[in-house]
A and B are shown apart, each in its own frame.
Chain A
């Protein structure tokens, strides 16, 4: 059974803390994504990665960075957490081909920044 695993379902952090959100997939997928989901705004793409050590900015990269040292793992980093980064974060992966392939999502990480 295909699986995308996010390390934490719920996190509470303080303003200014450095936050790591980890995502691991076991499907040997080339592409991995980080989205944040907010009510009324849908899912917005933060960063994505085509393959190991590659990364591309999405639509809202400010305040975030990513790391992809191994194919199966894609980490989202909040260098200095702020209250406006309180959100649900979703990791996803897919094969690079075919182009019709859907995203497989993790269960999400709900981050609260106080």
Chain B
């Protein structure tokens, strides 16, 4: 069965520094998608970045980049130049394949709480 693991319950980072949030996944399917979401204290879920399993390059979106290491089954989120507004909970998620008995559902990790210090 597919599984997503985030091993860092909480992290601190100094403002303007870069931070890496870890995510490992487990799947036997060659086709899957990986997502990162941000959840501020207000509770809304904000989509940050997506990486497909066949994508050759690491995804980037502004200050967010995804360090995709397929052989190691890791999809770490890198936030550059941290800002106070980056303080939030971050979730890694994986979409399983769709079709041939697979449902295409999205499963989430446990989350990592990031606090940015001024």
Residue ranges of A at the interface with B (Cβ–Cβ < 8 Å): 31, 33, 35, 40-45, 48, 56, 58-59, 88, 90, 92, 99-100, 102-105, 107-108
Contacts and interface: CB of A to CB of B under 8 A. Distances in A.
A88 B43 CA distance: 10
B70 to A, nearest CB: 17
Interface in B101-115: 103-111
The secondary structure that dominates the B interface is strand
A107 B44 contact: yes
Interface in B43-78: 43-45, 47, 50, 52
B45 A90 contact: yes
**7 tightest CB-CB pairs across the interface, nearest first?**
A105-B45, A43-B108, A102-B47, A42-B110, A42-B108, A42-B111, A108-B43
A102 B35 contact: yes
Interface in B76-93: 91, 93
A41 B110 contact: yes
Interface of A is mostly: strand
Given A41-B110, A99-B52, A107-B44, 12 more contacts: A31-B104, A33-B105, A35-B108, A42-B110, A45-B105, A58-B105, A92-B45, A99-B33, A102-B35, A103-B47, A104-B47, A107-B43
A71 to B, nearest CB: 17
B103 A56 contact: yes
Contacts of B107: 45, 59
Nearest to A94: B106
A56 B106 CA distance: 13
A99 B104 contact: yes
Interface string B1-27: 000101001000000000000000000
